[in-house]
Amino acid sequence: MERPVPLSIANKTMHETDMTKALIGTIHDWWDSQPKHPTIQKIHLIVGAFTCVEPASLQFAFEVQTQGTFLDGAQLVIKDIPLVAYCHTCRADYRPEFGSQYACPECNSPMEDIRSGRELKIDHLEYVAV
């Protein structure tokens, strides 16, 4: 069974280990509120490139921290969202290069408007009702 769950971990600046603790806590609060505790199979996250979250580190922290818990065996599925900015001078979207001060590659204007890449949220959970 797959259903959207209105949970968000956006706007939290944390190291991946602390972020994983917050993620587990958020999911536990939802899980604990269910009349019958479902078995969570997959957690789908959306992670933007501009969040400075390292997906491999997040995966590792999740695997370590969920051993022996209600999430033991659950899979963390991370969807990477690229950094996309909008140049007001060129009136076009572009993908800033990390290390290039994020300037527009056409006119070298500084990045002012981020269209995507800051996302950090739980998209949905896949679970089986018990």
Alpha-carbon gap, residue 50 to 31, rounded angstroms: 29
pLDDT at 47 over 80: yes
CA of residue 12 relative to chain centroid, distance: 11
* Cα gap 130→127, rounded to integer Å: 9
Residue 105 counted as domain residue: no
In a domain, 107, yes or no: no
**Assigned domain for 110 exists:** no
The whole-number pLDDT of residue 107 equals: 94
Q: What are phi and psi of 60, to 5 degrees?
A: -60, -50
Judge whether 55 lies within some domain.
yes
The 10s digit of each residue's pLDDT in 112-121 is 999 999 999 9
Residue 91 lies inside a defined structural domain of this protein: no
Give the model confidence (pLDDT) of 59-107 as tens digits. Answer: 999 999 999 999 999 999 999 999 999 999 999 999 998 777 889 999 9
Residue 108 lies in a domain: no
Range of the domain at 77: 2-82+116-128
**Does 87 map to a domain?**
no
The rounded distance, in Å, linking the Cα atoms of 121 and 104 is: 27
Structure tokens at 24: 């587990």
Eight-state DSSP code of residue 49:
G
56: domain CATH number is 3.30.2320.50
The total number of structural domains in the chain stands at: 1
Q: What is this structure's pTM? A: 0.80
Tokens standing for residue 2: 């797959």
CA proximity to 43, closest of 128, 127, 125 = 125
CA dist list (Å): 36 to 32, 64, 126: 9, 26, 15
